[in-house]
């Protein structure tokens, strides 16, 4: 948990569906106005305007971003899903907006916060606390975090959900998808239905703080024998569907380690990559949101803090086995075995054209490079992430054959991608081969 205050404007969260829809309606008309103005300007210069370019002017992009930020919750989730999983299908302007959305969350004003707490804990809730800091120490996509000390001496981090989020999830997700279509931000060819259904399902799960509390405790138990990891402890007596109470843990953002000694960066990334393989093959339970803010570091002890278990997902044993087969085939250079496993997982369909299949399998082989190498792989000296992005772009451009793979694989890819990005940013050297060997 960051201990510095987050300075953001307090913005009441629009909680009635109508007020949220009106915001979108206003947005569509202002984008239309901008498009008309920009078209007139280009015609005056003797250029023939293209609709996509007009919709994606920076002014429109910023308008969309601002609206999405005020709708928070669903908007941010759809944005996150799309910017991580379908990041390569999105125009760069939108990808930047969504990255900004992840970083900027507004917080709710005190009166709104107090109403949520009274509903969760009763009117005399203040009597149970020595102190309760009304300024949030962190803001997330569907809630904000406050620090508090109870009368019986517990130092807590308390995550409070924005009001109305749960009831507006489904309509918000639909509105956001409509908005992205209106704004020309998604290609017509992509079937978003499975991704939107998943965004709704996942948001409903993330909006259930009691469920997140159970996942937090589960991870705490799974990692009890690994003192290198620090998982906050659940405080069930203060936890409800809208409020999650856990022990406050002090650490600094993991990406502030970019200037740390090489050995420290290597060690932290080795821990996180080892955890990733354990989550898939051993626990079959994964925290699937690779936002860097979910990892923090305690310099004094060298521990890695794990936060935010809202997006925890269990994988069936058969799924983990298919991945094991895919990786084993990939590491042995067995192309036919890779194709068979990729088909079973759903990456490739019977109708995938040979050229596209080729590109997909090449991309998968590229992603296995770090695992193929004997000894430490140097993420800092590798252009792996940019090569992966280019292959992704090539696949996304072939709209007729663009498949959104099964949802489990999306989350897994998203987590792998996020961890690779973090390792690259940290310029870490990690012996991945040694880490994966026991699982294969």
pLDDT tens by residue, 314-361: 988 898 999 999 999 988 888 889 889 888 888 777 777 787 788 788
Residues 196-214, mean pLDDT to the nearest whole number: 88
Pairing type for strands 229-230 and 303-306 reads parallel
Least confident of 22-36, 67-81, 270-284, 416-430: 22-36
Closest CA to 237 of 204, 213, 207: 213
- Residues 85, 172, 242, 289: which is the catalytic one? 289
> For residue 126, what pLDDT band results from cuts at 50, 70 and 90?
very high
* pLDDT exceeds cutoff 50 at 369: yes
Predicted confidence at residue 255, as pLDDT, reads: 83
Whole-number Cα distances in Å, 299 to 256, 304, 306: 11, 9, 15
201 vs 7: CA distance, rounded Å: 31
- Is 289 annotated as catalytic? yes
Specify which residues 430 forms β-bridges with.
377
409 vs 323: CA distance, rounded Å: 9
> For residue 12, what pLDDT band results from cuts at 50, 70 and 90?
low
Give residue-wise pLDDT tens across range 270-299: 999 999 999 999 999 999 887 788 899 999
CATH 3.20.20 assigned to 110-161+208-230: no
126 vs 148: CA distance, rounded Å: 11
Predicted confidence at residue 263, as pLDDT, reads: 95
401 vs 15: CA distance, rounded Å: 39
- Name 216's Cβ contacts closer than 8 Å, sequence gap at least 6: 231, 232, 234, 244, 246, 309
CATH 3.30.200 residue ranges of the chain are 110-161+208-230
Q: Look up residue 339 and give its two tokens.
A: 């194709």
Which one has a higher pLDDT value, 25 or 245?
245
Closest CA to 311 of 238, 208, 227: 208
405 vs 326: CA distance, rounded Å: 15
Say if CB 286 and CB 416 are below 8 A apart.
no
Predicted confidence at residue 86, as pLDDT, reads: 39
In 3-state terms, what secondary structure has residue 403? coil
Listing DSSP states for 293-344 in one string gives GGEEEETTTTEEEE---TTEEE--HHHHHHHHHHHHHHHTT-HHHHHHHHHH
Residues 381-400, mean pLDDT to the nearest whole number: 68
- pTM here? 0.77
Residues 415-425, mean pLDDT to the nearest whole number: 86
Residues 241-267, mean pLDDT to the nearest whole number: 93
* pLDDT exceeds cutoff 90 at 146: yes
Say if CB 265 and CB 428 are below 8 A apart.
yes
State the number of CA atoms in the 13 A half-sphere of 261 facing the CB: 5
Listing DSSP states for 132-187 in one string gives E-SS-SEE-SSEEEEEEEETT--EEEEEEEPTTHHHHHHHHHHHHHHHHHHTT-S-
- Name 103's Cβ contacts closer than 8 Å, sequence gap at least 6: none
Specify which residues 298 forms β-bridges with.
303
State the number of CA atoms in the 13 A half-sphere of 323 facing the CB: 22
Residues 174-186, mean pLDDT to the nearest whole number: 65
Residues 200-225, mean pLDDT to the nearest whole number: 93
* pLDDT exceeds cutoff 50 at 142: yes
Q: What is the dihedral of CA 211, 216, 218, 219, to 10 degrees?
A: 140
């Amino acid at each position: 948990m960051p201990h510095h205050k987050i300075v953001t404007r307090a913005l009441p969260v629009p909680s009635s569906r109508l007020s949220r829809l009106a915001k979108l309606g206003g947005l569509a008309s202002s984008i239309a106005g901008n498009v008309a103005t920009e078209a007139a300007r280009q015609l005056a210069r003797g250029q023939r305007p293209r609709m996509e370019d007009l919709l994606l002017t920076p002014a429109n992009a910023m308008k969309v971003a601002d609206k999405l930020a005020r709708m928070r919750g669903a908007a941010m989730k759809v944005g996150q899903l799309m910017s991580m999983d379908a990041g390569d299908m999105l125009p760069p302007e939108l990808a930047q907006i969504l990255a900004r959305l992840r970083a900027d969350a507004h917080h709710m004003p005190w009166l709104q916060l107090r109403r949520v707490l009274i509903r969760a804990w009763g009117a005399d809730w203040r009597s149970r606390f020595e102190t309760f800091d009304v300024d949030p120490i962190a803001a997330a996509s569907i809630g904000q975090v406050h620090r508090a000390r109870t009368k019986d001496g517990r130092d807590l981090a308390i995550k409070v959900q924005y009001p109305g989020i749960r009831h507006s999830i489904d309509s918000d997700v639909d509105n956001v998808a409509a908005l992205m279509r209106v704004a020309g931000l998604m290609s017509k060819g992509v079937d978003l239905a499975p991704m939107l259904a998943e965004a709704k399902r996942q948001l409903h799960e993330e909006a259930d703080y009691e469920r997140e509390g159970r996942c937090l405790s589960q991870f705490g138990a799974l990692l009890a024998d690994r003192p290198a990891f620090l998982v906050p402890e659940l405080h069930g007596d203060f936890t409800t569907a809208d409020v999650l109470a856990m022990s406050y843990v002090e650490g600094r953002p993991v990406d502030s380690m970019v200037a740390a000694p090489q050995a420290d960066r290597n060690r932290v990334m080795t821990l996180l990559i080892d955890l990733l393989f354990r989550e898939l093959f051993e626990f079959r339970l994964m925290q699937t949101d690779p936002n860097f803010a979910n990892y923090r570091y305690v310099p004094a002890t060298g521990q890695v803090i794990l936060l935010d278990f809202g997006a925890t997902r269990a994988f069936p044993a058969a799924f983990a086995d298919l991945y094991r087969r895919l990786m084993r085939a990939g590491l042995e250079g067995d192309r036919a075995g890779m194709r068979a496993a990729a088909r079973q997982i759903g990456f490739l369909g019977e109708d995938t054209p040979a050229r596209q299949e080729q590109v997909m399998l090449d991309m998968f082989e590229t992603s296995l490079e770090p695992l193929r190498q004997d000894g430490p792989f140097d993420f800092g000296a590798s252009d792996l992430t940019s090569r992966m992005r280019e292959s992704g772009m090539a696949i996304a451009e072939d709209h007729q054959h663009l498949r959104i793979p099964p949802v489990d694989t999306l989350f897994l890819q998203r987590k792998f991608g996020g961890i690779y990005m973090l390792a690259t940013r940290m310029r870490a050297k990690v012996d991945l081969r040694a880490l994966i060997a026991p699982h294969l």
